[in-house]
Structure 1
Amino acid sequence: MLGVLSLAYQTLDWRTVAIGVPAIVVLVHFLSWLIDPHGIRKIPGPLIAKFSDIWLGIVSKNGHRSEVVHQMHQKYGTFVRIAPNHVSIAEPDALGIVYAHGNGALKSDFYDAFVSIRRGVFNTRDRNEHARKRKIVSHIFSQKSVVEFEPQIRVYVGLLIEQWDRLCGLAAKGMSGSDGEGGWKGEGGRLWLDCLPWANYLAFDIVGDLAFGGPFGMLQNAKDSALVPVNQQAAMNSYGGKTSVDVVEIPAVKILNGRGEYSMSMGVLPLWWRPFVKHLPWYSKGQKDVKTLAGIAIMAVARRLSLPTDRVDLLSKLQDGRDNDGNPMGREELTAEALTLLIAGSDTTSNSTCAILYYLARDRRAQDKLHKELDEQLSAEDLTVATGPQVKNLPYMDACINESLRLHSTSALGLPRVVPEGGLTIDDHYFPPGTVLSVPSFSIHRDKRIWGDDVDDFRPERWFEQNQADIQKTFNPFSIGPRACVGRNLAYLELQLIIASIMRRYDIVLESPDQKLETREGFLRKPLGCKIGIKRRDCL
């Protein structure tokens, strides 16, 4: 037999292979379209997307998936076929069907591309395993637990303001410098800087303290920096700090961005493509980012567990958590969940903070109204940083936050779900089991039936004027159902404290009136920067 194979190999016509293999691939994709096992052939969409995942793969890699899919919905309508077995549905009513409790829909194999140390609560696809993990994790984000974290959040918001006040003082003297990425300068009575790096420093230091017992030091040093072990396995084994571990310094924010783009792009490709695609240069670099980011969590957990402490933080609550059988998380699982907290707790907050400041800086009328509300509600006490009780009664600020999250949904793409046994019916369209469906937040946040004809305008007043039932049904910054973001209470409190404190203290403007909020999308939709001019307000 081996002799026959050897002879076949030697006489193989490579020109035939060069033609034959692509032909077979094309034929397989065409036959899948022709057989139409999921009954979606008549659903419109880009031509290539009907036959191959390559269309969505290229769109995802280019970093503007949500915008492109939205353009397809504007062209084709509510239902758009964006891959051979993936239908995007731009219909608010579909949210409660695709992502509902008890509907049996599971996460698709898209989430396999996000597995690093091991599966965590975010990328676990098995329903029973997810229920076990969520039971352990969700209690740490209850409203009661979140209140306990407020003092730690306020420390770092105060440190950000301390840094900006320092730079404002230097800017008043006409000085400039390189603190923070992009530098800063004093001109026209204002401090000019890029607020995105500072939002990143703030979010990373907050999550570092809450999840790992100490900040990364980014705010203090005005630098994107974190430590990772040279040998990750050695760090994982250094329980109790008995083993010293060599470390290196890396740019954590940059690594996080690369990891998000890689996982997003890899996740939309078929499973059988992934082992081959990962060897391409761009994807190979993304793999390194995945490993490096995991190293940040491994290092931070090892450091935290090596220091005896009775402080209450996210990691201690994870350690105390138990599943239905009374079992705690093991070291590896604990680290995987800590990595999830690091990613979800830093990127989302920094992206959203930057977007909110952009829209307020662009809209003088809205900023003036917010300043008025803050002065009326917070002027009784001369505090640098707002408190939890103070931000609970700021309806216009909440409207500004929500309107920013509508226009800049940091999680803007449609999260894919596999239709369960029995199928799902949406707007008279029946989808059989196994079909992948998603509802893009970017698109439903721009549905004129819900938000009005001025959907592209930043107008916080719509949160008081329009049908609130429709708005609440459509607004989807944290997803819904059993797989919704477990940390949404903490995330919203952070945004309230950050925005109230910054806007109470400063007046902000954009560097130029026509400045756009440029973005790039990995798994999350990230601003690429936001140059603003700030100055201390006279009222303070």
Structure 2
Amino acid sequence: MKTEDYLLVAAVLLPLFVISYWIVPYFTTYKHLQHLPGPFIGKFSNVWLALGARQGKKFEWVDYAHRRYGKVVRVGFNHVSIATPEGLRTVYAHGNGFLKDDFYNAFVSGVPGVFNVISRVQHARKRKIVAHAFSPGAVQDFEPHMTNNLIRWVGALDNIASHTDTQGYGKINMMPWCTFVAFDIIGDLAFGAPFGMVQRGRDECPADMGGKTVYVPGAETLNRRGEVSSTLGLMPSLRPFAKLLPDPFFSRGLQSVANLHGIAVAAVEKRLAAAEKASDDSEKGLVAIGRHDILEMLCRAKDSNGVPIAREELISEALTQLIAGSDTVSNTACAVIYWILHGERARPGTIVQRLQAELDAAIPADVPVAAHSMVKNLPFLRQCIDEAMRLHSTSALGLPRLVTAPNGVTCEKEHFPAGTVLSVPSYTLHHDADIWGANVDEFLPDRWLDLTPRQRMGFNPFSFGPRACVGQNVAHMELALIVGTAFRRYDFRLDQEILTSHEGFSKKPDECWLGIRRRA
């Protein structure tokens, strides 16, 4: 065949493919969704949603769609986004039988972990193994590891604060420093030793790549992994040949998936080798080291049949904790600091002075790092953290769930049959004036003194239901320690107008430039 013949065949077959693959299902298989409003391309495919993920702005695209089309929006060929508190309680409720969508398979490296496993039976087994490591009692045992890393952190910040400008402030981009301390803390908890980011002052982690140890940027790796997995999760047909796509976004992202798994392998193997060397009795090796942390608890855990966790599964669960415990905490801690300072700038004298007075009364002057007992029950600190989590929404995207009930489900006066994918976007809920009032975009910690039932129902920083974040006790503890320590020890000056963000799986501030100085 001549080139002209190939072009003619392609010209005929391509429209036929588009018609059969996207247009025919719109009128047949998914006819029941035709009446729902949404972006035009989103009615036929997930391309619109995947493009938003590719740009790192999926949360903004979905929020725009809701502002334009309403509370119930069709964002994919079989995917409906519901932006109401009542939808949150329906889609993620206990006992509804919904499954995590195929979207989560794009986040699996090695074997599935508690975060990305789809099977309800396997999730229940994994959550039982993992949950005991995050009980309130267990979390308190983590505090010495957090304290040691925070002491190194304030030492580094003291050094930055000592290089002052004419106003007596040092200059700092708080985002990477929140990343460094969060990575070091979760490294200490999940792998037995910090990554050393605070000490080195740079984003660097050892990774096992086929038996060879290399150093890779941990936070950058995590961000790229989230971006590419979120995109490919929406376009599963691209996954088998994503490395071959001309856009380097995919090849770099997939390399980051491998690098991140390598970080977990290197850290777990190092910890287990140290434990085995410490004791001839492998069952008591970790206890002999005397550490109380997540990895020790995972190693000692057994399922309902008394079977201990396999090493590959151990690596996957440790990786899950690395991702959840570093990315979300670092992003949120930075956002909390920004929004506290933004609120102070908007209403001078109403936020920082009040917060520091509360912290000064609770934390002795000669204590460099707050103890959890000092800050865990401080009401205004908790109000500031909750208000900042509402405005920033680190977990901003709608987590997709597959309707499995034979008779489907009814929500917001719409019936969705089995096989429909539903999600509720936290960012949109947290920025809905119908829920939070006309001052929805303002940082007002005192709104938490008198929340309405719908506001309580609509606040969703850790998801909801049986698949909610298992580590939220640790997250609350870290945030109280990081934010409480920072504002007790330092005065800050906000040196940027707005906080811009991009999204992988979680939403990350791009940068947060501050002036910093030790308090008198």
CA distance in 2, matches of 1:511, 1:32: 52
CA distance in 2, matches of 1:392, 1:201: 23
1:22-421 mapped onto 2 (5 Å cutoff): 22-28=14-20, 29-37=22-30, 39-169=32-162, 171-172=163-164, 186-231=165-210, 234=211, 246-269=212-235, 271-280=236-245, 281-308=248-275, 309-364=289-344, 365-379=350-364, 382-421=366-405
Deviations 1:493-517 (CA, angstroms, capped at 9, x unpaired): 00001111110111111114xx111
Residue 142 (structure 1) shift: 0.7
Query: Which sections of structure 2, spanning at least 5 residues, go unmatched?
Result: 276-288, 345-349
CA distance in 1, matches of 2:138, 2:4: 67
Question: When the two structures are superposed, what TM-score results if normalisation uses the length of structure 2?
Answer: 0.93
Aligned partner (choices 433, 454, 458) of residue 474 of structure 1? 458
Is the Cα contact below 8 Å between 1:361 and 1:532 reproduced in 2?
no
Is the Cα contact below 8 Å between 1:38 and 1:435 reproduced in 2?
no
Is the Cα contact below 8 Å between 1:505 and 1:536 reproduced in 2?
yes
CA distance in 2, matches of 1:391, 1:144: 17
Is the Cα contact below 8 Å between 2:30 and 2:77 reproduced in 1?
no
Residue 472 (structure 1) shift: 2.1
CA distance in 1, matches of 2:237, 2:332: 35
Question: What is the letter of the counterpart of residue 482 of structure 1?
Answer: P
Deviations 1:141-176 (CA, angstroms, capped at 9, x unpaired): 01111011011111111211111112323x14xxxx
Task: Give 2:438's aligned residue.
Answer: 453
3-state SS in 1 of match to 2:435: helix
Query: Which sections of structure 1, spanning at least 5 residues, go unmatched?
Result: 1-8, 173-185, 235-245
Residue 275 (structure 1) shift: 2.0
What is the identity percentage for the equivalent residue pairs of Structure 1 and Structure 2? 45
3-state SS in 2 of match to 1:404: helix
CA distance in 2, matches of 1:390, 1:120: 34
Change (3 A) 1:38 1:150: farther
CA distance in 2, matches of 1:315, 1:143: 17
Question: What is the letter of the counterpart of residue 303 of structure 1?
Answer: K
Question: What is the letter of the counterpart of residue 381 of structure 2?
Answer: M
Is the Cα contact below 8 Å between 1:362 and 1:509 reproduced in 2?
no
Deviations 1:210-268 (CA, angstroms, capped at 9, x unpaired): 0111011111111111111231xx4xxxxxxxxxxx31111111111111100011111
CA distance in 1, matches of 2:317, 2:181: 21
Is the Cα contact below 8 Å between 2:56 and 2:502 reproduced in 1?
yes
Change (3 A) 1:38 1:321: farther
3-state SS in 2 of match to 1:39: helix
Residue 20 (structure 1) shift: 2.9
Change (3 A) 1:452 1:230: same
3-state SS in 2 of match to 1:88: strand
Task: Give 1:530's aligned residue.
Answer: 512
> Structure 1 residue runs of 4+, over 4 Å off?
9-12
Task: Give 2:278's aligned residue.
Answer: none
Task: Give 1:20's aligned residue.
Answer: 12
CA distance in 2, matches of 1:490, 1:431: 36
3-state SS in 2 of match to 1:272: helix
Residue 192 (structure 1) shift: 0.9
Moved more, 142-151 or 357-366: 357-366
CA distance in 1, matches of 2:303, 2:12: 53
Moved more, 81-90 or 529-538: 529-538
Question: What is the letter of the counterpart of residue 457 of structure 1?
Answer: E
Tell me the number of residue pairs that the alignment of Structure 1 and Structure 2 aligns: 498
Is the Cα contact below 8 Å between 2:82 and 2:423 reproduced in 1?
yes
Question: What is the letter of the counterpart of residue 209 of structure 1?
Answer: D
3-state SS in 2 of match to 1:249: strand
CA distance in 1, matches of 2:14, 2:3: 20
3-state SS in 2 of match to 1:507: strand
CA distance in 1, matches of 2:174, 2:3: 64
Change (3 A) 1:51 1:298: same
Is the Cα contact below 8 Å between 2:160 and 2:171 reproduced in 1?
no
Is the Cα contact below 8 Å between 2:383 and 2:445 reproduced in 1?
yes
Residue 11 (structure 1) shift: 11
Question: When the two structures are superposed, what TM-score results if normalisation uses the length of structure 1?
Answer: 0.90
Residue 473 of structure 2 is aligned to residue 489 of structure 1: yes
Is the Cα contact below 8 Å between 1:209 and 1:215 reproduced in 2?
yes
Moved more, 124-133 or 33-42: 33-42
Residue 438 (structure 1) shift: 0.2
CA distance in 1, matches of 2:13, 2:480: 56
Deviations 1:426-474 (CA, angstroms, capped at 9, x unpaired): 121110000000000001111223211111111111111332x332211
Is the Cα contact below 8 Å between 1:38 and 1:432 reproduced in 2?
no
Residue 16 (structure 1) shift: 3.1
3-state SS in 2 of match to 1:509: strand
Task: Give 1:177's aligned residue.
Answer: none
Deviations 1:74-107 (CA, angstroms, capped at 9, x unpaired): 1100111111000000111111110011100000
Change (3 A) 1:11 1:399: closer
3-state SS in 1 of match to 2:445: coil
Is the Cα contact below 8 Å between 1:208 and 1:214 reproduced in 2?
yes
Residue 24 (structure 1) shift: 2.3
Question: What is the letter of the counterpart of residue 279 of structure 1?
Answer: L
Residue 416 (structure 1) shift: 0.1
Is the Cα contact below 8 Å between 1:358 and 1:530 reproduced in 2?
yes
Question: What is the letter of the counterpart of residue 403 of structure 1?
Answer: E
1:499-514 mapped onto 2 (5 Å cutoff): 499-512=483-496
3-state SS in 2 of match to 1:307: helix
Question: What is the letter of the counterpart of residue 434 of structure 2?
Answer: R
